Amino acid sequence: MKEPDSQARLMNFPVSWFATTMGMSGFAIAWSRFAAWQNWTYTPGPVLMAVALVLFLLLATIYGMKALRHPHAVLAEFNHPVKLAFVPTFSISLLLLAIGSLQLAPAWAFWLWVTGTALHLAVTLYVLSSWIHHSRYEIAHLNPAWFIPVVGNILVPIAGVHLAAPGISWFFFSTGLFFWPVLTAILFYRLIFHGSLPERFMPTLFIFIAPPAVGFISWLALNGGVIDAFARVLYAIALFFSLLLFVQFGYFRRLKFFLSWWAYSFPLAAMAIASVRLAEQTASPELAILASALMAILTAVIAVLVVRTALAVARREVCVEGA
C-alpha cells in the first residue's frame, strides 16, 4: 500500500535542511557585527536571530517527527556515505545560535553552546570512526560538505571563550585546524583527478571559504582580538577562495536549484564577519569597502535563497525521493 503523500514527504525530509538555520544564523550574526562596527542605533541582528531560532525549532520539530515515525530513514542518513556529512548541521546550528545569543541572552547562550558542543563532539567521533572503519566509501562520495563534521569544531571557541574554561576552546580549535588541511588535500585530489562534482553538489564548493574564515574569527577570540601574522594568513586564504569562486559566478548562476544552494550562505556570512572584524582592527578604508560589499552580496544571496526555497516548497520539489 502506497504511503500518504505527507508521510512520504516526512520520510524524505533531509537533515541537510539545518543548513538553512546555519545560513540564517550566520546572516544574523553578520548584521549584528556590521551594525556594531558602524555604530548604528538599530540593528536587524536580533530580529534575524529570532527568525533563525524559530526556523531551527520548526525544523527540529519536523525532524523529530521523522525520527519517531521513520527511524529507519534517520538511521539511513547516519549510514549514508554522502548524507552523513550533513548530520552535524544540527549541532553547528546550536553553536551559531549560541554565538548570536551571547549578548542578548547569556544564560540561553550557555546551554545552547553546551548542547551544541557536546553533540558536535559526539558526531565528530562517530564520523571519524565511520571513516576509519568502513566498507562503503568511494572517491566519488567526497565533496566539500565533508568539512562540516570535523572542521566545524573551529566554531566552538567563538562563544566558548566566554562560557567555559579556555582549554575546551583550544581543544576544539586544534581538532578542526588539524583536519582542515588534511581534507583540503584529499578534496583537491578528488576534484582534479576524478572529474567535477555532480551538479547538486557544486554549491558546496563555497564551503572551502568557511574553515579559514571561521578560523580567523576563532583565532581572534582565542588570541584576545590581536591581528597577528597567523590571523592574516587565515584571512588571506579565505579571501583567495572567495575570489576563486566569485570569478566562476557565471557557472554557478546556471545551476538548477537544490537545497544544497544553502551552502552559499554560511561561508559568505563567515567571510563577511571576518572582513568586518579585520576592518575594525586595522581601520583600513579598502577593507571597509570590501566588508560592506560582502554584506551587500550576502544579503542579496540570502534573499534569493529564501525566495527560491519557498518556491521549491510550494511546488513540492523538496522532500521527495531523490531530491
Stated length of the chain: 323
- Give the amino acid at 269: A
Provide the mean pLDDT of the chain. Answer: 93
Q: Please give the pLDDT value at position 34.
A: 96
> Which residues, 6+ apart, have CB-to-CB distance to 114 below 8 Å?
163, 164
Give 65-91 pLDDT, tens digit per residue: 999 999 999 999 999 989 999 999 999
Question: What domains lie within the chain, and their CATH numbers?
Answer: 5-314 (1.50.10.150)
Q: The C-alpha cell of 139 is what?
A: 572517491
For residue range 85-99, list pLDDT tens digits in order.
Answer: 999 999 999 999 999
- Give the pTM: 0.94
Task: Work out the average pLDDT over 102-109.
Answer: 92
Q: Do 124 and 150 form a contact (C-beta atoms < 8 A)?
A: yes
pLDDT digits (tens, 9 = 90+) for 174-204: 999 999 999 999 999 999 999 889 999 999 9
* Per-position b or e across 114-137, b if 16+ CB within 10 A of its CB: eebbebbbebbeebeebeeeeeee
The Cα 275–Cα 285 span in angstroms is 12
Q: How far is CA 3 from the centre of its chain?
A: 33
- Please, where are the H alpha helices in 70-165? 71-78, 89-101, 106-132, 147-151, 156-163
Instruction: State percent of the chain over pLDDT 70.
Output: 98
State the burial class of residue 97 (Cβ atoms within 10 Å of its Cβ: 0-12, 13-18, 19+): buried
* pLDDT of 162 above 50: yes
Distance separating alpha carbons of residues 307 and 320, to the nearest angstrom: 19
